[in-house]
Amino acid sequence: MTGQAPFPEWKKLAEHEVKNSVETLTWRTSEGIAVKPLYTADDLEGIGHLDSLPGLKPFVRGPRATMYAGRPWTIRQYAGFSTAEESNAFYRKALAAGQQGVSVAFDLATHRGYDSDHPRVAGDVGKAGVAIDSVEDMKILFDGIPLRDISVSMTMNGAVIPILACFIVAGEEQGCSRAELSGTIQNDILKEFMVRNTYIYPPEPSMRIVGDIIEYTAKEMPKFNSISISGYHMQEAGATLVQELAFTLADGREYVRAALKKGLDVDDFAGRLSFFFAIGMNFFMEAAKLRAARLLWSRIMEEFQPKKTSSLMLRTHCQTSGVSLQEQDPYNNIVRTAYEALAAVLGGTQSLHTNSFDEAIALPTEFSARIARNTQLILQHETGVTKVIDPLAGSYYVESLTNELAQKAWALIEEIETMGGMTRAVVEGLPKRLIETAATRRQVAIDRGDDVIIGVNKYRLETEDRIEVLDIDNAAVRKAQIRRLDRIRRQREPKRVDAALAALGEAAAGGKGNILAAAVEAARARATVGEISDTLRRTFGDHAAVSEVISTVYGSAFQDEPEYQTLSTRIGELSVSLGRPPKLMIAKLGQDGHDRGAKVIASAFGDLGFDVVAGPLFQTPEEAADIAVASEVHVVGASSLAAGHKTLLPQLVESLKTKGAEEIIVVCGGVVPRQDYQFLMDRGVAAVFGPGTHVVDAARAVVDLLEGKRRNE
């Protein structure tokens, strides 16, 4: 081209300019990766995967030779709410509108193995997913949806045995044999102990359950994926991408070992393992992460010497980030989700869920779910991304990122190996500590404005438009479920149920026989989800995590900030006035185990000078009130992410009053629609802090409440 300088001279000029500004132009990610402003061929020197091809080991460029040019990714929207009838109607509409598979979200009562009539789940039934108590609910859930033709993904871990058993029986009674059922059960219990916390049993017996499911499906369900090894919830809990990669793949290695202990040949089940990753807003790094995951998984699987090349292949589902969604200016979330979806596709995902823009506020409406689904349809049909296989291959930047992510993740995987594997690392708490530290650092970066969130810490609207949200009548759903449970218990054969549950208990206690096989017979006899779970509880026991709070991460980052110093001084003066530091209890009510926000608040308030009590997970309002009174706290801060706030918060306030402790201030933080704020305040909640609230602002408001109360005494 005439008039342009030759490339070598341009490169010399550009590199000179970059070197002169390297400190201001180089960006360091939370993974510790220094991202340069310019990448060249020199950055690819020594990288071994550059000549690889799609469909061939090490699968960096994709697990299939033709990728989307042969067949686009599967559009699989995760949904479930209220009753089986409501969810069924939603699925049928979505399938008619272009969705290609069903992905089921269960309510928290179901996740934790409780029937809907259990007193511990009064605020959880039907709120954050669909309530399933028995085969009868499962049959209604898939009524008119041919399970022989439609694949079903089920996010279930704690109560994985009764739910999979009910699904198998529902399929058979629809006329679809278990061998014809296709789809995926998550069955990834190790990550529950790290982040999501919807576990039931301790780690060791939980791993036995995983192995039994892999064994049963390998023999009986050749079209069904026995496990979806999930990094998604790790990133949602605050993990860096290196941590998400390393812990997810280390989990996978542990599950392979569990299956081999069952006497299975690796090639009998490796092709039925799948993965599940989150896709956040670091666009190119997310695409590189999926490429690095395939590279590392093929390396891990080579250790087990499979005969089939396909056993080395990582196949993954992806979901756009939930934690990147914001309550403020929520239509921005449509844009965020579109970018994240594109990153997943450029990284080579096999299926994808796109989040609805209102999920930082409440459950998605039919309107918002349609936009989320159409985001994928537009990406498939209008952008041309399906025409070329792995278009990012050869990018200096992306290939360098792929290599560096792989190296850092592998170092962490090897560290876990030296501890004795992932189960041992989970028991010792290493992954949980690292993720919680990363989550707090992320919150620091947002609160300081180092990480810009449009509409939250930059370009914020003066007034927010009201968004219509889906509101589930929890009490009505629970009554309907209880009526169905009562009918099932009246109509079934008690002796048959008792015999089936006894056989299940013997399989669990004796270590012989397959637990899932026994549970299928119990489900067929119409034993409920709660009854099957309780049978296993009696043998395995319940797992109870010990809450720990990290310290100094938030305080060290803000200690020189004037606002932080002023607030810390006020807390010191308040401590003198009270005769002790102000005491805050962080409460997680109901069966919601998502505790990222609660842990960050506990850490930050502790650094500011509060005496913080981290309450245990899965409290009833009455139990939380008991702990608050016994601990002599000044404030209870309830963290809510699962839509149970309208039931559980008023119960907490009333419980405190009943115990003569109405002087304890109750505040709430988390995913609470703005239209519910006044409802809660009318029932005694002193303040509500929605998503995106600056931690220092929340602490200042709590101090204002304490000082005001002190003045009025």
Tokens of 644: 């149970």
Tokens of 611: 């005496």
Encoded amino acid at 100, one letter:
Q
| Catalytic site positions | 78, 232-233, 588, 592, 594
Under 8 Å between Cβ of 72 and 344: no
SS3 187: coil
- Return all residues near 167 (Cβ < 8 A) that are at least 6 apart: 138, 152, 154, 181, 185
Q: How far apart are CA 323 and CA 320, in angstroms?
A: 9
Under 8 Å between Cβ of 101 and 153: yes
Q: How far apart are CA 291 and CA 394, in angstroms?
A: 12
Q: How far apart are CA 647 and CA 652, in angstroms?
A: 9
The DSSP symbol for 170 reads: H
Q: Which among 107, 15, 79 has a CA at the least distance from the CA of 481?
A: 107
Sequence-separated contacts (24+) of 707-711 with Cβ below 8 Å: 707/570, 707/574, 709/663, 709/665, 710/574, 710/577, 710/578
Partner residues linked to 320 by β-bridges: 279
- Residues 241, 329, 287, CA angle at the centre, nearest 5°? 25
- 3-state helix, strand, coil split of the chain in percent (to 5) is 55, 10, 35
SS3 666: strand
Give the dihedral sign, CA 248/251/253/256: negative
Count CB atoms within 10 A of the CB of residue 268: 18
Under 8 Å between Cβ of 565 and 537: no
Phi, psi of 669 (to 5 degrees): -135, 155
Encoded amino acid at 113, one letter:
G
